A and B are shown apart, each in its own frame.
Chain A
Amino acid sequence: MAAVLTDWGEFTVAASNGLCVSPIDAEIVTGWTRKPEGMCRGELCVPLAKDNPPDGSIDLAAFWRTLGHPVVSDQRGDVWVPGTAAESRATALTGAEAPDFTLPDLAGVPHRLSDLRGKKVFLTTWASW
């Protein structure tokens, strides 16, 4: 089993040969669906890499890198981070849009920034260190 840490959540999936996972798990983790054309999201399809395993599994790391994102993992190969490309970060900031996020408070209750639409927001960061 591998822990897969994404921007939108943490997943535990059965993986082999690196991060080769079932198409169902690939969809659960990434939101992209396996179709004959490759991996698809909405209207967009991206062909799988030539060396994607022939057994029907999806090399998720290779696919994620094909999209231009960084992927890192621990030496043991049991923890993976499909990261976010710098370009994606820049796109989220286009037109000075404030990127949305959801984070928990002390009680674990999630709060979403965009729920404050209609108010001026002073978004500040701090740390105990």
Chain B
Amino acid sequence: MWQDLADSLKTENFAVVAVAEESRGAEHARQWIEQAKASYWCLIDVDHRVASLYGMVNVPQCVWIDEAGHIVRPPETAGSTDHFRGMDLTTRTMSPEAQAARLATRAAYLNAVADWVRTGRHALAASEVSATLPTITPDMALADAYFRLGVWLRRHGRDTDAIPYLEQASKLHPASWNIWRQAADLDEVGKASGPEFWARVRALGDRPYYKQPDLPGF
């Protein structure tokens, strides 16, 4: 997904780092990484460490980091939209208009990143970033500990033991789609996009699944 971006900015002082929040491990991410033929780092994050460190709750979310190692844009949706919510679930297709709008949003987002790399535009001051970074609460910290425990138990074949801890993690951090969907996927591949997922999305009502970034064109 990001190779075009990386290619177009090859001559710049720029790096893409794509982190797979993939508790099933490297083999589960392999086919997509190999397909991407990425020139950039593709890393495997079994314990969702990056999401914990940066306060991310969904994929794809990203942060922009400057040359001095400062965050210049807090976690934001990386070009995805809520058009999928209007998908026909039997045919699993979207209207041509929705598809076009989706592509336009993706392009606008990639243009913003390129703009930043070339000119520094869209970077936020540290004070603004600090004010907009997600607040990490004690419940969220506890959720991460339960998530870690649950993932380990799953990976060691203790599936029944794992379930209550993964459930507790989700209860403590209900806004985290990462926790809920990863736990669902660990239960059964595909479950993260199954009927329970759609029910959870419908329960959002008017609230966005993918909050849009405050960038020009959005």
Contacts and interface: CB of A to CB of B under 8 A. Distances in A.
Contact of A79 (B1, B26, B60, B153): B153
A92 interface: yes
B71 A72 contact: no
Max chain A C-beta neighbours (<10 A), residue from B24, B66, B117, B153: B66
A122 B72 contact: no
Contacts of A105: 41-44
**Secondary structure at chain A's binding surface: helix, strand, loop or mixed?**
mixed
B133 A104 contact: no
B18 interface: yes
A123 B19 CA distance: 7
Interface string B55-70: 1100111111111111
Interface string A95-129: 11111010111101001011011111111111111
A127 B72 contact: no
B149 A120 contact: no
B144 A119 contact: no
Interface residues of A, number: 50
Interface stretch (A19-27, A40-48, A81-89): A81-89
A113 B64 CA distance: 12
A119 B14 contact: yes
A89 B113 CA distance: 26
Contacts of A93: 54-55, 71, 130, 133
Contacts of B55: 89, 93
Interface string B64-101: 11111111100000100000000000000000000000
B53 A86 contact: no
Given A74-B161, A86-B141, A105-B44, A126 B1 contact: yes
B19 A126 contact: yes
Contacts of B60: 124-126
B45 A103 contact: yes
25 contacts: A3-B152, A70-B142, A71-B145, A72-B145, A72-B146, A79-B152, A79-B153, A83-B148, A86-B137, A89-B136, A93-B54, A93-B71, A101-B49, A104-B43, A106-B34, A119-B13, A119-B15, A119-B67, A120-B66, A121-B16, A122-B64, A124-B17, A126-B1, A126-B60, A127-B20
A45 B119 CA distance: 48
Contacts of A90: 135-136
A10 B122 CA distance: 39
A103 B64 contact: no
Contact of A125 (B61, B141, B153, B158): B61
